[in-house]
Amino acid sequence: MTRLLITRRLPDSVMAAARDRYDVTLREAPGPLTAEEARAALADYDALLPTIGDALGADAFGGSPRARIMANFGVGVNHIDVAAARAAGLTVTNTPGAVTDATADIAMTLILMTCRRAGEGERMLRAGRWEGWHPVQLLGRDLGRLTVGIVGMGRIGKAVARRCHYGFGMEVRFYNRSRVPHPGVPAHQIDTLEVMVREADIVVLAVPATPETRHMIDARVLAGMKDDAILINIARGDVVDEAALVAALQEGTIGGAGLDVYEREPEVPQALIGMENVTLLPHLGTAALSVREAMGRMALDNLAAFFDGREVLNPV
């Protein structure tokens, strides 16, 4: 029977489906797979079902791995050296599509919480500091009057654009490396990131984590944003130079930030935690049961296709 390692517990329905077909080992240790564990797993199992943070760098693929496929649970594969995996004879798949709407919803959560100062208000109330309604208390920003600039107009970027434009009446600008003839909403594609951030009141990051996008948002880009603009990150933490972001917020270069991802997860800089104009979420982008079940089913579908001798559904 095909031996499958699942690196972290998945929803019960996914675990049951996996066990119906494979000899499943569930790694019970907390946190991501370590580099040492990854090397051993690739030597011992026919397939791995890893997820974000698992240490599957180039050094994991030395020798002659037994494993032939890694069906990643998630869209992002920046934790996997895909080139090294392919060179070692492994197929790598991911789970696009299943995460689109849930991730876009988290973008809107961050936009609303940051622009309307909801986190700040909740902290005030829970601390017993709320003294009742006041005409100038916690005045935020009216989304219908704002322009959103989206960095990356793929599935998630388009879903955010639909919510912003049709849900709140926002003007939409976007930056994408290739031309996007049909963004799905009335929108203007801007040729350079620097120009786009100058025009946006809210900048939403929706790009994959790649060597090209690492620190895409650096001190120079942040300096070009409006001084009351909000940065929203639902992509990956290292798309933003976190030290530069902290400095920009401390110096008032930008107005605030809403973050669901961080450069060194689960570490979050204390400077960010202490800022009232920053909304912080613990990587909730796909945290809905139906979404995580769909991701698991997609990963299992990729495994089934591979071991049945068919083309995998979602090759990376």
- Give the residue numbers annotated as catalytic, written as ranges: 236, 265, 283
Length of the chain: 316
Give the per-residue SS3 of 186-209.
CCEECCCHHHHHHHCCEEEECCCC
Cα atoms found within 13 Å of the Cα of residue 287, Cβ hemisphere only: 10
The answer for residues whose C-beta is within 8 angstroms of residue 222's C-beta and 6 or more apart is 231, 244, 245, 248, 253, 254
Beta bridge pairs of residue 259: 233, 280
